[in-house]
Chains A and B, each alone.
Chain A
């Protein structure tokens, strides 16, 4: 079992807001990162250090943190956002861990 817990799936209609949560005991002390993985492709970093967005990532992707829960928010979801999303953080041993992943379906 993962030290970071994500919902297996989230579904939204185009144009709506998708929120994907990730919970973990170490999150108040460690940054979280989010990756998008489309079928047959490598993961892509979409959020780092809880809230920062790498260059080239659309502004509709944002991150937030509150205690033991971090959230990836995708505003104005588009069909191309359909993918698996993984959170990542460091555990108490300073090892990287990934959440189990959330499949975002755009209805």
Chain B
């Protein structure tokens, strides 16, 4: 069965960086995009962008350029989200979700809570 399993919660200080992983199983990893979605505490869902798992090309939505980096390791069917120069406002749950064309985001990871606090 399709699964996306994300890495565990992180507590970081302002200015540090964090790398969140999203390991896929149950399907051919390079056949589907991986999307990243942010959910700030008590807030709604915000699409950050996606990465083409076949070419490795990322696309970032406005507001998530510069400090946010999507990457892959296709040998282990894993996508990564790295955030640099963390700020308190980056505190959120970050989800990866499989992009399935017309079925949009059909499978989601369980989410990774990133807390930025001094």
Q: CB within 8 Å of B: which residues of A?
A: 2, 31, 33, 35, 37, 42-45, 48-49, 52, 54, 86, 88, 95-101
**Are A49 and B108 also in contact (CB < 8 A) when A86-B45, A101-B45 are?**
no
Task: Name the CB-closest residue of B to A101.
Answer: B44
Binds A, one of B13-21, B82-90, B98-106: B98-106
A48, B104: Cβ atoms under 8 Å? yes
Question: Which residues of B sit under 8 angstroms from A88, Cβ to Cβ?
Answer: 45, 104-105
Task: Name the CB-closest residue of A to B111.
Answer: A42
Tell me the total A-B contact number using a CB cutoff of 8 A. Answer: 51
- Name the contact of B46 in the complex, choosing from A31, A33, A37, A98 (C-beta under 8 A): A98
A42, B108: Cβ atoms under 8 Å? yes
Interface positions, chain B 71-118, Cβ under 8 Å from A, are 95, 97, 102-106, 108-111
Task: Name the CB-closest residue of B to A42.
Answer: B108
A49, B44: Cβ atoms under 8 Å? no
A45, B44: Cβ atoms under 8 Å? no
Is B35 on the interface with A (CB-CB < 8 A)? yes
A95, B106: Cβ atoms under 8 Å? no
Is B68 on the interface with A (CB-CB < 8 A)? no
A44–B104 Cα distance when bound, in Å, is 11
A48, B46: Cβ atoms under 8 Å? no
B111, A33: Cβ atoms under 8 Å? no
Question: Which residues of A sit under 8 angstroms from B35, Cβ to Cβ?
Answer: 96
A95 to chain B, nearest CB (A): 6
Question: Which residues of B sit under 8 angstroms from A45, Cβ to Cβ?
Answer: 103-106
A42, B95: Cβ atoms under 8 Å? yes
Q: Would you list 15 pairs from A and B whose C-beta atoms are within 8 A, ordered by A residue? A: A42-B108, A42-B109, A42-B110, A43-B105, A43-B108, A48-B102, A49-B102, A86-B45, A88-B45, A88-B104, A88-B105, A95-B61, A96-B47, A98-B44, A101-B45
A54 to chain B, nearest CB (A): 7
A49–B35 Cα distance when bound, in Å, is 18
A86, B44: Cβ atoms under 8 Å? yes
